[in-house]
Amino acid sequence: MASGNDGLTLQDLLLTEAVKDFETHTPLRDDDALIEALSAAADRSSRLVARARRLAADTGLAADAARLRDGMVTLGIVVAGGVFLLAGLVTLALLGEGRRINAVAAMALLVAPNLLGILAWLAYAALGARAGAGLAGRAVAALARSRWAGAHVRRIWPAAARVLDAQGLTAWALGGLNHLVWTLVYTLAAFAVAAVFSFSRYQLAWETTILSPQALQEIARVIAWLPRHIGLPAPVPETLDDPQASQMLGVWLIAGTLAYGALPRVLLALLCGAVLAARRRRLTLDIDDPYHRRVLARLEALAPTRVIDDEHAAPASPRERAEGRFEAGTLALVGFELPPEVALPAALLARAAWSERLDGGIAERQAVLRRLAEHPPARLLLACHAPSTPDRGTLRFLESARAGGIALLLLGDGAHAARWRDWLDAAGRADIAVLTDADEALAAHG
């Protein structure tokens, strides 16, 4: 599940991914960062980002990312240089050698590579989601990994490339840059040609060996359709004998450069910009990534719990020892909350002066306590169900029972004896013996 969040920025995702890379090789102590993240945000993506931001600051990754961003200025200067170089090359291609220009051929030379370039980009954009950054991206990634790249680039770039890929931005970012470059190249080239034509005399015409001049003129008219529709002058001479023919074709060539070179590129650059802007508003963090899941599990374990009704029991009052006269030699046997299928041991029943099974309510319990008070036996044997949990109800009965000596006889699995012993000790009744065997009880009370 990807968690969308309005507040997420590319920088957030970049730092989160960079910290993830870092932690793959170097485990980080992140206790403080986790606590900070827990209080900084309520939603899970923001918490992950908050933790990563703190760790990125501590590890220097944030500084690395800032350096990489600053390095983009250098990259921009290199790109600008490239733009001027390309513009020069395009201008030279349009002007050709000498002072005679085959205008239609020059236009074809301009349009064909541009359209091919655009088609190639469209194909890449269509496959881009799966193909990563393509060849250019791989070349940049290889360069970023190489020893020529600075340490900060090596630490940040793989994360940056993955973030762009994961958010579906790579194709559009590279495309936007590419189209922007070519928009500038063709615009500059058009101005350069205009400047050259303004101050130098060139002879523009169309030339053919097998086509008729009318066919070329018709092609020129078709090409002029687009520039005219966007408001650019693109005159096509009726005949090359027209004294204005060269001038008209010069303007036609410049208009064509702008319409077929710069215009599609500027439109595509705008499209890329629009897609990038839309996707940047919907940046998501893949919280189902195992790494993020692990961090979330630890974050959630840190969420505070709150004691809302603390223990404030009054200290137990010292227990009064049962005193007085007990009926000498008598043994009372009480089965306390025993399951119906558990019978009281026959030998003990035979030996006991009296016996009761207690599994009813308060009236039954009080009746037995009354009997114990009225005829306190020398020994009381309370038979309990060993696997059951000893509780305060049992303890209250023991505390209220009047007898010369009390012992517990556990019926059932004797393995639970230690639990009952611990419980009696914790309740301050170390004096009560815990027995697990009827014969043992018989011997003790015989």
Partner 1 sequence: MAETITIAVVGHTNAGKTSLLRTLTRRRDFGEVSARPGTTRHVEAVELSCDDGVVLRFLDTPGLEDPIGLLDALGPLRADMTPPQRIRALLATRAAQAEFEQESKVLRALLDVDAALFVVDSREPVVAKFRCEAEILASCGKPVLPVLNFVRDPSSRETAWRTLLGDFALHAQVRFDAVAPFDGGEAQLYAALQALLPQRQAALRTMAAFVERERAARGEAGLRTVAQALLALAALRITVSREELADARRKAAIVEAFRADVLQRARRAVHELLDLHAFARDDAELAMLPWLDGRWAADLFHPETLRDAGVRLGKGAAIGAGVGLAADVALAGLSLGAAAALGATVGGAISQGFGPLGRRLADAVQGRESLSLEDTVLLVVAQRLIGLHLALQARGHAADDRIDLERGALPMDALQPLLRALQPARAHPRWADEDSPRREAAQRELLAALRALG
Q: Are 125 and 288 in contact (CB under 8 A)?
A: no
To partner 1, the closest distance from the beta carbon of 342 in angstroms equals 8
Quote the CA–CA distance of 18 and 279 in Å, as a whole number: 21
Angstrom distances, CA of residue 152 to CA of 61, 68, 258: 8, 7, 41
Quote the CA–CA distance of 298 and 292 in Å, as a whole number: 10
- 339 or 446: whose CB is closer to partner 1? 339
**Counting contacts by CB under 8 A, is residue 117 touching partner 1?**
no
Q: Out of 47, 54, 365, 402, name the contact with partner 1 by CB under 8 A.
A: 365
Cβ-count burial 169-205 (b if 16+ within 10 Å, e if not)? bbbbbbbbbbbbbbbbbbbbbbebbbeebeeeebebb
Q: Which of 58, 207, 289, 327 binds partner 1 (CB under 8 A)?
A: 289
147, 201, 321, 392: which one contacts partner 1 (CB under 8 A)? Answer: 392
Query: Looking at beta carbons only, is 109 or 342 nearer to partner 1?
Result: 342
The correct pick among 81, 360, 414, 446 for binding partner 1 (CB under 8 A) is 360
Beta-bridge partners for 379: 331, 405
361 part of the interface to partner 1, by CB under 8 A: yes
Residue pair 176/273 in contact (Cβ under 8 Å)? The answer is yes
- Per CB under 8 A, contacts with partner 1 among 9-68 are 43-44
Determine which residue in the list 311, 320, 323, 374 makes contact with partner 1, applying CB under 8 A: 311
- 85 vs 302 by CB, closer to partner 1: 302
Site residues for partner 1, window 290-309 (CB under 8 A)? 290, 293-294, 297-298, 300-301, 303, 305-309
Least Å distance, CB 56 to partner 1, is 20
412-441 residues in contact with partner 1 (CB under 8 A) are 419, 422-423, 426
- Selection from 340, 308, 316, 312 nearest residue 392 by Cα: 316
Tokens of 151: 């340490």
Select from 33-41, 189-197, 344-352, 359-367 the region that touches partner 1 (CB under 8 A): 359-367
210 near partner 1, rule: CB under 8 A: no
Ranges within 246-275 binding partner 1 (CB under 8 A): none
Per the CB < 8 A criterion, the answer to whether 38 and 302 are in contact is yes
The three-class DSSP label of residue 156 is helix
Q: How far is the CB of 392 from partner 1 (least distance, A)?
A: 3
The DSSP secondary-structure symbol of 414 reads G
User: Can residue 319 be called a binding residue for partner 1 (CB under 8 A)?
Assistant: no
Strands 377-385 and 2-4: unpaired
Classify residue 27 by its DSSP letter: -
Which residue ranges make up the site for partner 1 (CB under 8 A)? 1, 3, 43-44, 130-132, 158, 162, 288-290, 293-294, 297-298, 300-301, 303, 305-314, 337-340, 342, 359-362, 364-365, 385, 387-393, 396, 419, 422-423, 426
